[in-house]
Amino acid sequence: MSRGGQNRTHGTVEYCDRLDSFRDAAQSGRYTAAWSSGNAIVLTVGEDAVWLAYQAGRGAVSEQVALSKLPNHYGGARPFFLCPGCGRRVRFLYLRWGRFRCRHCARLNYRSQQTAHDEFQPYRQAVKLLRQRFGLEDVPCPMDLPHFEPERPHRMREATFFRLKCRLWRLTDQYRHRFITRAKAFLRLK
């Protein structure tokens, strides 16, 4: 099993080995699927289900995944997996934590979603704080936020100013931490 994928706390679908029902469950028979990570599994495809057999850590896993067929535009039918974790009808199952599951069960995001949601959220909160409480119109860009020192607005008391600055520092720390975590994850791929 690949270690890299399992150690990351926030997985993204782009980094995970997956099965594609359109490709891997299209015809009955026995197949081997292998990935560049070194993972490989044996699939036995039947009419209504696929049996997966593979090694996870020291144990052998054998799991049955039900198939659901939907008609396509050309009078045929396309197979979909029913996720063994939640029953959702899905085209892709991802290998995570030693099991093949849909991206919801495997807690996987798309990289674009994760970047927008996790990484820049503290930055956006900091910008909101600077606009609403510090009365700033020109807010720092993301790269400048860690070095930014706001001035005390004229009518704001020292104590309030200090409290708001602490809040800003916390958001800045969160933003910097997430940015570095993201950068590290990205560089490991290169």
Binding site residues, Zn ion, CB under 5 A: 83, 85-86, 102, 105
85-112 in b/e form (b: 16+ CB < 10 A) is eeeeebbbbbbbeebbbbbebbebbebe
For the chain, how are helix, strand and coil distributed in percent, rounded to 5? 35, 30, 35
Nearer to Zn ion, 102 or 129 (CB): 102
Could you tell me if 102 and 90 are in contact, meaning their C-beta atoms sit under 8 angstroms apart?
A: yes
Q: How far is the CB of 82 from Zn ion (least distance, A)?
A: 9
In the block, tokens 């020292």 appear at 158
Residue whose C-alpha is closest to residue 153's, from 173, 169, 168, 131: 131
Nearer to Zn ion, 85 or 150 (CB): 85
Dihedral of CA atoms 96, 2, 18, 190 in degrees, nearest 10, equals: 120
For the chain, give the number of residues. 190
Nearer to Zn ion, 86 or 166 (CB): 86
Q: How far is the CB of 47 from Zn ion (least distance, A)?
A: 22
Nearer to Zn ion, 15 or 100 (CB): 100
Query: CA-CA distance, 106 to 92, in Å (whole number)?
Result: 11
Nearer to Zn ion, 65 or 105 (CB): 105
Q: How far is the CB of 144 from Zn ion (least distance, A)?
A: 41
Q: How far is the CB of 169 from Zn ion (least distance, A)?
A: 40
Q: How far is the CB of 95 from Zn ion (least distance, A)?
A: 13
